[in-house]
A and B are shown apart, each in its own frame.
Chain A
Amino acid sequence: MDIRVDTVRKEFSHYPALNDVSLEVKSSELIALLGPSGSGKTTLLRLIAGLEMPTAGRIFFGDEDASSKTVQERNVGFVFQAYALFRNMTVLDNISFGLKVRPRATRPPKAEIRRRAMELLDLVQLSGLEKRFPQQLSGGQRQRVALARALAIEPRVLLLDEPFGALDAQVRKELRKWLREIHDRTGHTTVFVTHDQEEALELADRLVVMSQGKIEQVGTPDDVYDRPNSPFVFSFIGESSSLPVTVENHELWVGGRAIGLPAPNDAVGEASLFFRPHDVELVEDGVGAALAGVVVASRRVGGTRRVELEIGGLPERVEIDLPFDHPAGEKTRIAFRPKRWRVFPKQA
């Protein structure tokens, strides 16, 4: 089932949480809504679910206009960050809830409900725990029950609101992989919200990067990481360094010196240069045009050493990664050129 969000706006007491957002989600796609808190990602997810109603705009499931339908009618599987399991019910009763509350005409017989719930329990790898109560499960187990419960109603789309947000890092990684497997096996169109870029990049087919109630960029993890279309996306996704530059003569200049990078287009004037700290090549100082700076701070990050450079007396500092055994110390002068970079015109 594909989803189409058509210029949807949502206001909470006249404060716009979502500003004319349009988005298309393909059938069987796993898509991540990524953004800082307050970017409107959860609001968008809740609008798709029908837990909120849009102030303006429409939402389609396939060809069908779902905007005016209630959450019950939309038949969506929704997984909450805080699990929202029914504490007075066993795991099995939680999973079968959605089938048990159906009107008699469409409700499967008891034995069938039980069989399906047990099957889902097996899918989420919790067989044998059907008689437990939610309080007797770990966080990761609870979230798996919540997912099984959402899948039980055979939803048209699966929506997850920061599903791993309350879990510790290790469990999170496992569940991430496992969610991908489940998605590939069941083929549900899935939208999940996260503020964890690593999670989004690893898990999603496509990312929707949001900021301040707007969509900044939609694309595959490669698109968004390698070709960010705005300073916001560049600095929000992955590590980044930036520096004010001047564009002139089809070249980038810093502090009156050409830095050996061609300008991407004919634009002239003030701009910002963005690059990844690990995506640089060191050059010998004084040989050819490059960015040169003095090390002011250095720290070990995993397998590399990240140094902070002061470039030609500018107040902005940039970070680059050096091999961990690089002899650079405080005050060492280092010259480098970004291997890949983006230039964005200076924002007003």
Chain B
Amino acid sequence: MFEPDVIYDSRRLIPPEEHTRPTTERVWIRRLLIGIAVVFMAAVLVLPLVLVFTEAFRKGADTYFAAFADRQSQQAIVLTLLVAVIAVPLNLVFGIAAAWCVAKYEFWGKSFLTTLIDLPFSVSPVVSGMVYVLLFGAQSALHPLLRAYNIEIIFAVPGIVLATIFVTFPFIARELIPLMQDQGNTDEEAALSLGATGWQTFTRVTLPNIKWGLLYGVLLCNARAMGEFGAVSVVSGHIRGKTTTMPLDIEILYNEYNFTAAFAIASLLAMLALVTLVFKTILEYRFGDELAGTRRH
């Protein structure tokens, strides 16, 4: 007669509670660590967000909406949108170009270029703003020339746009470089060998391959473009209704003790952050494997 061997399953011999993998901690340590993390998150992230909205609505919905009726605040919102509409598409192009260069080609000075792309991340935004003041401001060598042609850059919209572009430059490139490096060149080579032109290869093969990573980068870039304070603050000149973006407007309102209005505008920015987060989470959930380094941000 054939008798099957008794199969011993280690999981059956040890009670489930005590059966732990070597990488798992004891129950009380797990709960303690999770507890600390939750409390910390609540205090540092959730509480401030809740406070923004409670402060904004402290004097009721009417006062809240009145803040948006203010002409100068409206102009700040419009300016913020304008800056984002210019800066994000430009960085989209620059970002793709830079990532393409770094990921698909080998050349001398490549690692230096990669470092350069990261520069805006490592430099304080105030310094980034200062650079533009030095470059185009009243003390710069370029100033007489700019004056002669009546071009205003510092304390005007162009300066704000330039500073924003600088600060938000790395977002798209950094998102695309690892993704494109990972994908390699073979898809492009295949397209070329099939007779596609460079542009056809880019639009039909490369772009579809990176589209979710690109969208992800654009989202982060946009959030930062609208929320940037430091660099913009240096170049803006704080002319209310002319060169103030939403973050600057919030600061002015706050300094004028107009807390409700300040928090009302702040709530708008917070909302933008929330929407960005929701989109980001959806993208990560849906296309996680097509996004590079999702844990990095």
Q: List residues of chain A with CB under 8 Å of any chain B CB.
A: 49-51, 70-72, 75-78, 80, 82, 84-88, 97-98, 101-102, 146, 149-150, 152-153
Going nearest first, the 3 A-B pairs with the smallest beta carbon separation are A98-B194, A88-B208, A84-B190
Known A-B contacts A86-B205, A88-B209, A101-B204; A76 and B186 likewise in contact (beta carbons under 8 Å): no
The interface bits of chain B over 183-216 (1 if a CB of A lies within 8 angstroms of the residue's CB, else 0) are: 0001101111111110010001100110000000
Q: Which residue of B lies closest to A93 (CB)?
A: B204
Contact A78/B195 with A86-B205, A88-B208, A101-B204 known, Cβ cut-off 8 Å = no
Kindly count the residue-residue contacts between A and B in the assembled complex, taking CB atoms under 8 Å apart.
61
**B195 contacts across to A, CB distance below 8 A:** 72, 75, 98, 101-102, 153
Complex Cα–Cα for A84 and B189 (A):
9
Given contacts A72-B197, A101-B197, contact A84 B187 (CB under 8 A): yes
A105 CB → nearest B CB, Å: 13
List residues of B whose CB falls within 8 A of some A CB.
186-187, 189-197, 200, 204-205, 208-209
Determine whether the beta carbon of B196 is less than 8 Å from that of A97: yes
Main secondary structure of the interface of B (DSSP, over half): helix
Residues of A close to B205: CB separation below 8 A: 86
Min Cβ gap A40→B in Å is: 18
Q: Please indicate the chain A residues that have their CB under 8 angstroms from the CB of B197 in the complex.
A: 72, 101
Given contacts A86-B205, A88-B209, A101-B200, contact A149 B186 (CB under 8 A): no
In the assembly, what is the distance between CA of A238 and CA of B200, in Å?
Answer: 46
In the assembled complex, the Cα of A101 lies from the Cα of B193 at a distance in Å of 11
Give Cα A77–Cα B192 distance, bound, in whole angstroms. Answer: 10
Let me know if B200 and A78 touch, CB within 8 A: no
A82 to B183, CA, bound (A): 11
**Are A80 and B196 in contact, with the CB atoms below 8 A?**
no
How many angstroms from the CA of A78 to the CA of B194 in the assembled complex?
8
Bound CA span A269–B287, Å: 69
The residue among B186, B189, B193, B209 with the most chain A CB atoms within 10 A of its own CB is B193
Residues on B with C-beta less than 8 A from A152 are 194
